[in-house]
Amino acid sequence: MNMAKTESMVGAGRGNAARPLAGRSREDILVGADGAGSALFLMAPALAVYAVFTLFPIAVTFWLSFTDSNGFNTDAGFVGLENYRKAAADPILWQSLWQTLLWLVYHVVLAGGLGLGLALAIARLRRSQVFFRTAFFLPHLVSLAVVGVIWANIYDPFFGLLNTSLAAIGLGGWTQGWLSDPSLVLFSVNVASSWQGFGLYMLLFIAGLQDIDPSLYDAAEVDGASAFQKLVYVTLPGLREVMTFVMSLAMINGLKGFATVFVMTNGGPFYQSELITTYIYRLAFQSQDHGLAAVLCILLSVLAITITVVFNKWRARLRR
């Protein structure tokens, strides 16, 4: 770095106000002893917030996992790896882990798929696009707890909209116990959750579609490509970046699934819709076993980190 040039740039840019910095290089200012101090000073509020609201809770959770804490006892005893042993031997934990992975897949496919499908359907509309975009995005503005209540009523086996509609159109044989059938319940609740989530993914896909060069469609048209071929060879490759982003977002949202399950089934019947998140809540706030709940929090974090790392590596490989 040409120091004289830097000095003149700093001086010229700031006039008299920059006098105290005169004679010092950018490196001096930013990474020198004084600069580091200034940088730290400026970052301190953000660091403090990060430390208090992120690092400290992580550390406490980690510590709790080695104790017999019930969440309120200040004299929680150190129990070593006992909570980890209990977790490993807990069949409900493994069931909830498997169901969490299933939940994640359902969410990516249902919410992501619906978001993509609707984006493709309305992206070309000129006049009515704003209407449909708004209408489809509206569920995303409703809180998940409210969504849970709405869908629990839709699924009501005796009075619900779904079963009564099926019966009304002569498909009474298709009526189900949507929240009572062990093989359906997780999917049913996920539909409700995905219904709330697809609007955001749809907007992201629409933004992605708008970024695709229209001349590519013209070229495909000239080459005689069908609508399906344009979708496969122009649209989907053009959406690759958005798709990977939506997938990672959907996976993170999938892992965080809690509210709809909590409201609609509370993990039942007989743990068939239990997710790690709902099981953590059950352990921490119903059974007051904060030690075991902390182990599950760590497990969930490890799961989220693993999925993110693997997914990012896969994404990087796709780019190459």
* Selected binder of other proteins within 159, 170, 222, 226 (CB under 8 A): 159
- In angstroms, give the least distance from the CB of 114 to other proteins: 24
> Is residue 155 near other proteins by the rule CB under 8 A?
yes
Min dist. Cβ of residue 57 to other proteins (A):
14
Residue 181 interacts with other proteins (CB under 8 A): yes or no? yes
Q: Which of residues 249-288 bind other proteins (CB under 8 A)?
A: 264-272, 281-282, 284-288
Instruction: By CB under 8 A, tell whether 53 contacts other proteins.
Output: no
Give DSSP secondary structure letters for the chain. --HHHHHHHHHHHHGGGGGGGTT--HHHHHHSHHHHHHHHHHHHHHHHHHIIIIIHHHHHHHHHTTB---SS-TTPPB-TTHHHHHHHT-HHHHHHHHHHHHHHHHHIIIIIHHHHHHHHHHTT-SSSHHHHHHHHHHHHHS-HHHHHHHHHHHT-TTT-HHHHHHHHTT-GGG---TTT-TTTHHHHHHHHHHHHHHHHHHHHHHHHHHTS-HHHHHHHHHTT--HHHHIIIIIHHHTHHHHHHHHHHHHHHHHT--HHHHHHTTT-STTTT--HHHHHHIIIIIS--HHHHHHHHHHHHHHHHHHHHHHHHHHHHHH-
Regarding 41 and contact with other proteins (CB under 8 A), the answer is no
Site string for other proteins, 132-151 (x = CB under 8 A): --------------------
Per-residue tokens: 171: 């498909």
Regarding 6 and contact with other proteins (CB under 8 A), the answer is no
- Nearer Cβ to other proteins, position 197 or 289? 289
Residue with Cβ nearer other proteins (243 or 264): 264
Specify burial of residue 197 (Cβ count, 10 A radius: 0-12, 13-18, 19+).
buried
Shortest gap between Cβ of 71 and other proteins (angstroms)?
6
Nearer to other proteins, 185 or 209 (CB): 185
- Shortest Cβ 63–other proteins spacing (Å): 17
> Which one of residues 73, 128, 165, 312 is an interface residue with other proteins (CB under 8 A)?
73
Please pick, from the candidates 11, 32, 113, 177, the single residue that binds other proteins as defined by CB under 8 A.
177
Q: Considering only the stretches 20-28, 29-37, 46-54, 175-183, report the one whose residues sit in contact with other proteins under the rule CB under 8 A.
A: 175-183
Pick one of 11, 32, 35, 71: the residue that binds other proteins (CB under 8 A): 71
Q: Does 72 bind other proteins (CB under 8 A)?
A: yes
Query: Per rule CB under 8 A, is residue 103 in the interface with other proteins?
Result: no
Question: Residue 218 burial by CB count (10 A; 0-12/13-18/19+): exposed, middle or buried?
Answer: exposed
Number of residues that bind other proteins (CB under 8 A): 34
Could you list the residues that contact other proteins (CB under 8 A)? 70-73, 152, 155-159, 177-182, 185, 264-272, 281-282, 284-289
